[in-house]
Amino acid sequence: MRNISFSQATLEAMQEEMRRDERVFIMGEDIASQGGIFGQFKGLPKEFGLERVRDTPISETALVGAGIGAALAGAVPVVDMHFADFIGVTMDEVLNQMAKIRYMFGGQATLPLVLRAPDGVTRSAAAQHSQSLEAWFLHIPGLKVVIPSNPADAKGLLKAAIRDQNPVIYFEHKDLFSKKGPVPDGDYLTPIGKAAVVREGKDVTIVSYSAMLGKCLEAADQLGSLHGIEAEVIDLRTIVPMDMETIYESVKKTHRLVVAHEAVKTGGVGGEIAASVSENILEYLDAPIIRVGAAFTPIPFSPPLEKRVIPQVESIVEAVLRARW
């Protein structure tokens, strides 16, 4: 396998899908002229031209609305939101159009549309450019939501999202774009709706996704070396649909569960997982479920405060130890 960056992996996914299917095109702000804020679109205009790599006005509402129309007309649009925070501007299109059209047409219309949404905390981007908003879309039927944690899945999930006949929101953490990892050669897809057990263990299950997954693996190393605790780590990869069966099987083995994410803890994905586990396999739990998430506050600009608000490796270690060990 090659060792390439998350950004390069998503670029490869776009190149391969645009070569494979001439209906695939991408549009957004400054993606042709600038190559994307994180370099994730560099070279695409030269190969595919400005008809298929379109710079647009600064109007997220127009972007998503045009994407919906293009998908209904037979194209396969990939819409870059620049920052996930800006999805708030488009909520009528996302909530009442994108998520509902296939259902309201009785399946006679498909909507193969991907929203790429860079999210998460990095480099003191402050309150309006650092949010993790995935839990909003857990509550909206009709959408699929994927969140890769590594370059291989970044490529595989983006390709799978482009080929899906339903609208997919593709969250890509800003701090991951420069991170490198092994990526297979050739055409492959990461299945939407299937979690991955990325580290096996017998004492506690840790569930996470996106950039927080890396911190969970570091925490698992510390738990093993310092406390003799063997943590099993699950990468969700997709939160809609969510692979609860993989989580259930792990918890039945370990009897303890910690869920960690960078998003605000209140009302987050961790709460949904905790409720589902409690409703379905409560008898297997030997300790309370512990959630780890950001403090209930806007993300501060100050680097020390930013670090304080967002869970760190130590937060996950402490959560595991709190589970009545």
Catalytic residues: 129
- Under DSSP, the state recorded for 290 is E
> 163: exposed, middle or buried (C-beta count within 10 Å: 0-12, 13-18, 19+)?
middle
- Whole-number Å distance between alpha carbons of 259 and 248: 13
Q: Judge contact between 44 and 95, C-beta under 8 A.
A: no
Distance, C-alpha 80 to centroid of its chain: 14
φ/ψ (deg, to 5) at 307: -65, -35
Its sign, for the CA torsion 234, 235, 237, 239, is positive
In three-state secondary structure terms, 116 is: strand
238, 214, 176, 309 alpha-carbon torsion, rounded to 10°: 100
